[in-house]
């Protein structure tokens, strides 16, 4: 048991503290110290007014950043190859045709600002320590004025880029604090010191001769923390010349390194910043060197003379697709070939956009091209393609043959393209997938794999993973709904469209075996959508649907549908739909084999208002080999343009390999699986993924009256910028998350997962009368990661920071364990996962001189498995007032205190006289984050 426990703890440390691995699909590669295939994409919402300046400044910034990265990584990496994807509308820009580059998966995106960030560059990070981010966001205005005021405001652009690149690629976090932030404050006191320091990681801590403390109001010492309150900020003077860290002080010219565990560039592991909280106080350099780019001596230091990258400017002109369909004999089972035909027709006729190119291949024992690449131009081209769809199934299964024919179609158009591979059986004829895999990867094509039935070839998900594609699974007991989702999911790789062209899925549901034959449902049309409203029903048999009615919020009733029985679709279209709740009623026959599915879509109501959109995904990829060591995370991103929608209700529906489906509520609380609170990314661990097989994920989002758009005018739990948030009103959204496969069942030997590590612990207040008490608050973890309720907490405090760090926690040291009898408010009994828990307890002082104490905790489950220790916080206790009488020591103290008071008054007067109202963030506007 002890051996198993130790192994498990080692795995958890690697996965939850330094959890390296891909968090988003990317084509970036590092070979011989050179990063290639970096994609910078410009949104279609960016006008071409400043196109020349923006393109010049992107290249200037990354060109300079290459040598900065090379220096910071100690000669291990630089930027070599960058692709800049411009919108189709930028007709004044000379460019080549794009191949595999897409806006939706670009590493760097140029788009209008998110109101909460303004023009400040930032990186979307949805994973934990060591997990790469999703993309870097720059605004057109930032890039347009890159070398003028922005250098003074945000710092040198080349260092800004390396700072954000480190978030994106290496999964490290900021090493500075924020104003009005209890978790990551602006000031703190180092261990065994009464000197107040700014919350920075720097090898040369600023002293008061190199730092001004200025005021934005009455600046005082906060009795709770013992440091300056929220009215106090700092300004670093030019004579402050540290060497590190680029994750903290990147706006300072002398900073060229990351903090590390070396004495010269020492990491400040006691500073209460986000990096220390998320990464267990490991240094940034330690996390970077454990990234696959550099781990195991990958890309060792190398002397490279030429560090300037090359740039290619490319333009989207429509995507290229090849449908590769299995027509082996087993496709006759469960009516698969018919379902394939019907879904393919729907996709070609209604979903794939004009300007795209489509070719088709069918394979059985051998493969053949059934349509060369055809550009979609209206109904005639669509009907011509539909006429070539396969309708017969016979023979064996040669998937490699089909892939080779697909590459034959794509090759004349250059690298890239999307292959939709649908198969239902195991490979029987050569070449097999593994024999053509390297050829497919070299082609730059992405594979969207569709596994039809549970006997489909196991290696197709690997094919999707290797080509940065997607995977879908279609159950034989399902109607055509899942297959439709898979086809539509491939359209992710079409060129990005402007905001007014985005199609939003408001509602989707499948119905089969309907009790009583009557379906009554409702959905909401919110104020951001309503234009080009489509109510669509996909059915298996036309006579299964007996009657239909749809009632608008004002009471108008619609009963007429337009049928397309060839593709088995019925639709109602409105140029504009009313805002409010819509009710529909469907009457179906008693058939138990037929089914239908309802889709409701719309576009933005106004070209000036972006719609609320939803993405659903599993960041670990399409194939998971060890869910014991790397638990499955499910994410949903809910946004209005670049602004997050927070406090929405989000649930993931997971179809299991066997047994009933499961529903998992996702949270945006900044705890456990969720990295950042209120960023519009809702997350949760799925601890039920223990059986080998294929899982399908779908996300559902709605407002229960609490959802609002975080547009920067109202920030929960911080200083309010406006009196009320921007409420969304009632809305509904649906999104498919595709499928993932677990290679084999996880051996279940008792309890698999411990509780999650707590990363958002902070001190609410301290009191000295009566007794010394501290009030802490945190998000409760679960029995298994973030599910259920843990069995107990172990809370410890100590005057020594190291007593609570890592493996020292709980060992025989100076730390004190909090018992239930010490608790004066709240309880040591854990609350259900996701709850905000507050506990006040009495602390025993070690001696009169020690006033700073450190606190940390961990949760324990019912089988005795313990979580990793939480982030460490400090509680500062003021000096006790004597009850009666004055000792000589006290009198001397009063005299000394009086003298210090005079000096303090003089200092404050001096500061007021200077009247410096400067920002704490040393020219990077971090106070506005």
Residues forming the active site:
164
CA 559/CA 524 separation, integer angstroms: 19
For residue 770, whether the previous peptide bond is cis, meaning omega lies within 30 degrees of 0, is yes
Tokens of 658: 């066997």
d(CA 387, CA 390): 9
Rounded distance between C-alpha atoms, residue 435 and residue 368, angstroms: 19
Closest C-alpha to 684, from 621, 627, 635? 635
Q: What are phi and psi of 842, to 5 degrees?
A: -85, 135
Q: How far, CA to CA in Å, does 11 sit from each of 1, 230, 786?
A: 15, 40, 17
Asked if 311 and 793 count as a contact pair (C-beta separation under 8 A), the reply is: no
Other C-beta atoms closer than 10 Å to the C-beta of 250 total: 27
Helices (H), 254-370: 274-278, 284-289, 336-346
What is the 3-class SS of 738-750, one letter each residue?
Answer: EEEEECCCCCCCC
**Terminal C-alpha separation, the chain:** 46
Q: Which residue has the tokens 């300007």?
A: 355
For residue 823, CA distances in Å to 631, 774, 877 come to 34, 10, 18
Beta strands across the sheet bearing 873-876: 816-817, 792-798, 852-860, 873-876
Helix, strand or coil for residue 605?
coil
Six token digits for residue 490: 């491939």
Pairing relationship of beta strands 211-215 and 662-666 according to DSSP bridges: unpaired
Torsion sign over Cα 855, 861, 867, 870: negative
Rounded to the nearest 5°, which phi and psi values hold at 235?
-130, 120
Orientation angle between helical segments 399-410 and 433-443, nearest 10 degrees: 20
CA-based angle 197:200:203, to the nearest 5?
Answer: 95
d(CA 228, CA 215): 10
Taking each helix axis as running N to C, give the angle between helix 157-165 and helix 51-72, from 0 to 180 degrees, rounded to the nearest 10.
Answer: 70
Q: Which residues in 717-783 belong to E strands, given as ranges?
A: 726-727, 732-742, 762-767, 773-779
3-class DSSP state for residue 732? Answer: strand
**Which parts of 43-80 are beta strand (E)?**
78-79
Give SS3 for 321. Answer: strand
């Amino acid at each position: 048991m002890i051996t198993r426990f130790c192994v498990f703890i080692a795995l958890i440390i690697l996965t939850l503290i330094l959890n390296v691995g891909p968090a988003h699909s990317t084509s970036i590669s590092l070979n011989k110290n050179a990063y290639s295939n970096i994609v910078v994409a410009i949104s279609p919402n960016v006008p071409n007014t400043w196109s020349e300046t923006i393109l010049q400044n992107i290249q200037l910034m990354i060109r300079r950043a290459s040598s900065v990265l090379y220096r910071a990584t100690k000669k291990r990496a630089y930027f070599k190859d960058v692709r800049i994807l411009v919108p189709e509308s930028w007709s004044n820009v000379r460019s080549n045709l794009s191949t595999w580059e897409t806006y939706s998966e670009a590493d760097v995106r140029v788009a209008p600002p998110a109101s909460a960030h303004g023009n400040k560059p930032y990186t979307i990070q949805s994973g934990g320590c060591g997990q790469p981010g999703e993309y870097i966001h720059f605004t057109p205005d930032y890039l347009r004025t890159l070398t003028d005021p922005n250098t003074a405001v945000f710092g040198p652009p080349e260092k800004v880029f390396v700072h954000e690149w480190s978030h994106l690629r290496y999964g490290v976090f900021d090493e500075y604090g924020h104003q009005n932030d209890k978790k990551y404050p602006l000031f703190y006191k180092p261990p065994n010191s009464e000197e107040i320091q700014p919350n920075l990681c720097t090898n040369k801590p600023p002293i008061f001769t190199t730092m001004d403390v200025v005021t934005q109001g009455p600046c005082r010492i906060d009795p709770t923390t013992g440091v300056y309150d929220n009215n106090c900020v700092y300004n670093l003077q030019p004579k402050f010349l540290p060497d590190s860290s680029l994750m903290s002080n990147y706006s300072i010219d002398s900073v060229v390194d990351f903090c590390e565990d070396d004495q010269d560039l020492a990491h400040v592991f006691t500073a209460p910043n986000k990096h220390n909280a998320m990464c267990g106080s490991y240094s940034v350099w330690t996390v970077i060197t454990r990234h696959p780019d550099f781990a195991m001596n990958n890309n060792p230091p190398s002397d490279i003379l030429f560090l300037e990258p090359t740039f290619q400017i490319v333009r989207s002109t429509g995507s290229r697709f090849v449908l590769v369909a299995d027509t082996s004999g087993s496709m006759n089972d469960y009516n698969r070939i018919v379902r394939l035909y019907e879904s393919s027709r729907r996709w070609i006729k209604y979903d794939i956009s004009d300007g795209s190119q489509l070719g088709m291949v069918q394979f059985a024992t051998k493969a053949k091209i059934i349509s060369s690449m055809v550009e979609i131009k209206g109904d005639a081209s669509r009907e011509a393609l539909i006429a070539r769809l396969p309708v017969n199934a016979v023979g064996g299964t040669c998937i490699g043959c089909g892939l080779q024919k697909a590459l034959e179609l794509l090759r004349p158009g250059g690298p890239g393209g999307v292959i939709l591979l649908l198969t239902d059986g195991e490979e029987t004829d050569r070449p097999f997938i593994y024999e053509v895999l390297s050829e497919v990867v070299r082609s730059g094509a992405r594979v969207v794999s569709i596994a039809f039935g549970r006997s489909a070839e196991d290696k197709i998900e690997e094919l999707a993973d290797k080509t940065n594609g997607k995977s879908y699974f279609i159950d034989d007991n399902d109607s055509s709904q899942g297959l439709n989702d898979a086809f539509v999911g491939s359209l992710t790789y079409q060129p990005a469209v402007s905001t007014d062209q985005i199609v939003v899925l408001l509602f989707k549901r499948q119905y089969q075996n309907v009790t009583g034959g009557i379906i009554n449902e409702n959905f909401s049309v919110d104020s951001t959508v309503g234009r080009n409203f489509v109510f669509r029903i996909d059915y298996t048999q036309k006579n299964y649907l007996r009657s239909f009615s749809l009632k608008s919020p004002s009471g108008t009733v619609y009963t007429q549908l337009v049928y397309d029985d060839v593709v088995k679709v019925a639709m109602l279209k409105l140029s504009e739909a009313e805002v409010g709740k819509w009710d529909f009623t469907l009457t179906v026959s008693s058939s138990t084999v037929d089914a239908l599915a309802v889709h409701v879509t719309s576009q933005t109501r106004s070209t000036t208002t972006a719609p609320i959109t939803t993405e659903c995904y599993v960041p670990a990829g399409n194939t998971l080999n060890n869910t014991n060591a790397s638990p499955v995370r499910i994410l949903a991103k809910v946004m209005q343009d670049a602004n997050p929608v927070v406090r929405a209700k989000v649930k993931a529906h997971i179809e299991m390999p066997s047994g009933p489906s499961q529903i998992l509520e996702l949270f945006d609380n900044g705890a456990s699986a969720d990295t950042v609170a209120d960023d519009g990314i809702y997350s949760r661990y799925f601890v039920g993924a223990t059986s080998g097989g294929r899982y399908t994920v779908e996300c559902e989002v709605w407002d229960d009256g609490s959802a609002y758009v975080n547009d920067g005018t109202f920030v929960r739990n911080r200083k309010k910028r406006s009196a009320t948030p921007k409420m969304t009103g009632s809305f509904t959204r649906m999104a498919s998350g595709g499928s993932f496969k677990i290679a084999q069942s996880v051996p279940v030997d008792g309890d698999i997962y411990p509780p999650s590590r707590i990363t958002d612990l902070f001190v609410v207040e301290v009191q000295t009368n009566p007794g010394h008490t501290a009030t802490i608050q945190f998000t409760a973890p679960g029995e298994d990661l973030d599910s259920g309720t843990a069995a107990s907490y172990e809370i410890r405090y100590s005057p020594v920071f190291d007593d609570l760090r890592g493996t020292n926690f709980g060992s025989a040291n100076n730390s004190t364990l909090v018992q239930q009898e010490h608790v004066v408010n709240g309880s040591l009994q854990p609350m259900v996962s996701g709850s905000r828990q507050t506990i006040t307890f009495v602390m025993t002082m070690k001696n009169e001189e020690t006033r700073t104490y450190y606190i940390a905790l961990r949760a324990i489950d019912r089988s005795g498995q313990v979580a990793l220790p939480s982030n460490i916080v400090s509680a500062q206790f003021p000096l006790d007032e004597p009850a009666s009488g004055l000792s000589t020591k006290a009198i001397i103290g009063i005299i000394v205190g009086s003298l210090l008071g005079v000096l303090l008054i003089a200092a404050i007067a001096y500061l007021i006289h200077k009247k410096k109202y400067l920002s704490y963030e040393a020219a990077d506007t971090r106070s506005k984050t």
